[in-house]
Amino acid sequence: MAYEFKFPDIGEGLTEGEIVEWKVKVGDHVENHQPLLEVETDKAVAEVPSPKEGYVISIKGGPGDIIKVGEVIAVIGDKAELGSAAPAVEKPAPAKQEKPEKPEKEDKPSPEKKPEPKKPEKAAVELNAQPVKQARLEPGKEFKSVGVVGELEEAPEEEPSPTEAEKPQEATPISKPRVEALPRDRMLAKELGVDIGAVRGTGPKGRVTEEDIRRFKEAGTPEKGARLAEGVAGRDENGPVERTVLRGVRRKIARAMVESMTKSAQVTTTDEADAGLLWHIREKEKAGAGEKNVRLTLLPFIVKAVVGALRRDPLMNSAMDDLKGEIVIKGYYNIGIAVETQDGLIVPNVKDADKKSILEIAAEIEDLAERARKRTLSIKELKGGTFTITNYGSIGGMYATPILNYPEAAILGVGKLHEKPVAQMGAIRVRKVLPLSLTFDHRVVDGATAQHFLNNVIRHIEDPDLILIGN
């Protein structure tokens, strides 16, 4: 008997997924556990295996379609069942346009209808010379002739040609702004095979720099499941527009942001940390980390600073369970790192960050970020976070109001490290300042608790010895 395969919950509390690609078609023989399709769920692309061996009798949906958990997405059976089902599934309906292929039958007039007057040969030539896409069906008209390139509309004999004002305007493509970059950087992008138009510039006035190009090249091209937005040119009453379907990661981000803003009371507080000493430590250890193939940035130190502060203020390492009306304080520290990809922000998390060294965290962040951009993360690596860090300073931002990674109680935004004159003990000194923005759920955390937590994060950044000894 044919087996109806229902879309399973392949994550924690998964309710739906978006089809990326079917790896089989109707009539294929599949083995047990052979991948049937790829589905995008919670910003990860996962393969869904076949639950049994047999022949694919039918499949449901295509790329971009949403499927619900528990919905039948495929039917698998034996060869006999395939044979009985195949005609209904695969056999195309006979084309109605195949009959009028012989010209001699078209020339014979019907006894009830007078023959159509022949068109001049010149007009027929001009008509057939036009592209098919220009043929439009207007109300009250019929397609009367069929050619190998499609159906062509026959106009009345004496119908006047439309004026230029009456002709429909074709969609005007939106011109892309010129990318600002130095000639040498344009040459570098060409040598590396990088589309400079796809690179986000972090230089003055958004100029694309050499570092931007090399970082883009190192990130690599997104692999399975990655889809760039494909706009469709058109017009509205004011001029040219471009419409892009909201799908994939962008659709999930949109839903998550709305859920976060509607289900929590979000407040943001800001402050600054003197990161001069921490910066010097990083500079001193960077070469040694490089010998171990680890790219050392300030972010792993900030992760450890956050963990140290979370230990002192455990309420910040919590989540609200709205169904039960309970605050769930987590006894583990899985720190989410927001990663910018061509599809949008993806937030994998470093598991048990409190048990790992600075270099281990640095290596793990780099690995997670690379696989996030290539869309090869597992769902497990995207689930179970307790606190999130978003480092918008890496692309030039100072302060922000980050949105919670719901249902987490807090998120820390890290701005751009910059030099700033600071008054200390009656003197003006130039310090390396790190801007910080903390958004918290005011239902769970009071403002005073949030500021105490941020003070502790700053204390760990300004005194890195606290990071090393875990206080």
Q: What is the pLDDT of residues 419-446, one digit of tens each?
A: 999 998 899 999 999 999 999 999 999 9
13 pLDDT band, cuts 50/70/90, is: low
Domain annotation covers residue 53: yes
Does residue 336 sit in the same domain as residue 207? no
pLDDT of 332-366, one tens digit each?
999 999 998 877 889 999 999 999 999 999 999 99
Does residue 291 sit in the same domain as residue 337? yes
| Residue 204 belongs to domain with CATH number | 4.10.320.10
End-to-end CA distance of the chain: 63
User: What is the rounded CA–CA span in Å between residue 365 and residue 335?
Assistant: 10
Q: Is the pLDDT of residue 247 over 80?
A: no
Does residue 285 sit in the same domain as residue 423? yes
DSSP structural state of residue 113:
S
Burial of 132: CB neighbours in 10 Å, binned 0-12, 13-18, 19+: exposed
Q: How many independent structural domains does the chain possess?
A: 3
Q: Is the pLDDT of residue 9 over 60?
A: yes
User: What is the rounded CA–CA span in Å between residue 124 and residue 469?
Assistant: 87
pLDDT of 158-216, one tens digit each?
445 545 445 555 555 555 566 778 878 888 988 888 888 878 777 766 778 888 888 78
Single residue among 215, 231, 260 that ends a domain in this structure: 215
| Residue 36 belongs to domain with CATH number | 2.40.50.100
SS3 state of residue 222: coil
Does residue 206 sit in the same domain as residue 342? no
Sort residue 101 into left (φ over 0), alpha (ψ -120 to 50) or beta: alpha
Domain annotation covers residue 200: yes
Does residue 195 sit in the same domain as residue 255? no
Single residue among 215, 240, 265 that ends a domain in this structure: 215
Report pLDDT for 303. Answer: 97
Which residues is 316 bridged to in the sheet? none
Does residue 206 sit in the same domain as residue 57? no
pLDDT of 296-335, one tens digit each?
999 999 999 999 999 999 999 999 999 999 999 999 999 9
Domain annotation covers residue 227: no
* Position with higher pLDDT, 67 vs 207: 67
Single residue among 173, 200, 215 that ends a domain in this structure: 215
Annotated catalytic residues are 442
Does residue 292 sit in the same domain as residue 190? no
Domain annotation covers residue 374: yes
Domain annotation covers residue 190: yes
Beta strands 387-390 and 335-337: pairing type?
Answer: parallel
| Residue 260 belongs to domain with CATH number | 3.30.559.10
63 pLDDT band, cuts 50/70/90, is: confident
Domain annotation covers residue 313: yes
Does residue 326 sit in the same domain as residue 204? no
User: What is the rounded CA–CA span in Å between residue 94 and residue 67?
Assistant: 31
- What's the length of the chain? 471
Burial of 298: CB neighbours in 10 Å, binned 0-12, 13-18, 19+: buried
Domain annotation covers residue 128: no
Per the structure, the complete domain to which residue 325 belongs is given by 249-469
Domain annotation covers residue 165: no
